[in-house]
Amino acid sequence: MTARPFRDRRPDHHSLRHARGSTLLEGLLAIVLFSMGLLAILRLLTVSTIDIGNAQYRSEASLLASDLISRIWTGDRSYKGINDRFGNTQTDDYQDWLASVQQRLPGVTASSHVPKIVIGSDRTVTVTLSWQASGDKDAHRLIFQTLITD
């Protein structure tokens, strides 16, 4: 049996320091990539929350316009009847409807984003609703048009 020379299987000091440095660099890179992914997910959640709010207000505006049209249909549907009830912003019918608009849409006040109702001589009714939520730079608008018949 021949004797084998003894080899020290421990890595030398230089390779140990290099291994520790690359592990630290890999760890930092993993933290940076994880942070970027987390920030992207947070941004996506923020945009989704804003879009959900906007969709809710669009739905509310559509329901309010439909409510106005149904109020028109339940009363005198002649041009004069429609105009007497909703053509003037001081009538009780208009004021009741306006109160529900101001309660359900943001930014609608007596002087800002006031709903507009245009009644044509052929009894075409155009309802324009606009609103602006806090944080929105631009106002949103819904235009609803229908023809009232007998």
CB 116 within 8 A of CB 128: yes
Q: What is the pLDDT of residue 78?
A: 93
Whether the pLDDT of residue 140 is over 60: the answer is yes
Whether the pLDDT of residue 1 is over 60: the answer is no
Question: Domain span at residue 110?
Answer: 13-147
Model pLDDT for residues 49-98, shown as the tens digit of each residue:
888 888 999 999 999 999 999 999 998 999 999 999 999 889 999 999 99
In a domain, 5, yes or no: no
In a domain, 68, yes or no: yes
In a domain, 55, yes or no: yes
Q: Which of 18-22, 42-46, 49-53 has the highest mean pLDDT?
A: 42-46
Q: What is the pLDDT of residue 69?
A: 95
Q: What is the pLDDT of residue 25?
A: 86
Report the domain count for the chain: 1
In a domain, 70, yes or no: yes
In a domain, 63, yes or no: yes
In a domain, 71, yes or no: yes
Whether the pLDDT of residue 9 is over 70: the answer is no
pTM of the predicted model as reported, rounded to 2 decimal places: 0.71
Q: What is the pLDDT of residue 116?
A: 95
In a domain, 2, yes or no: no
Whether the pLDDT of residue 8 is over 90: the answer is no
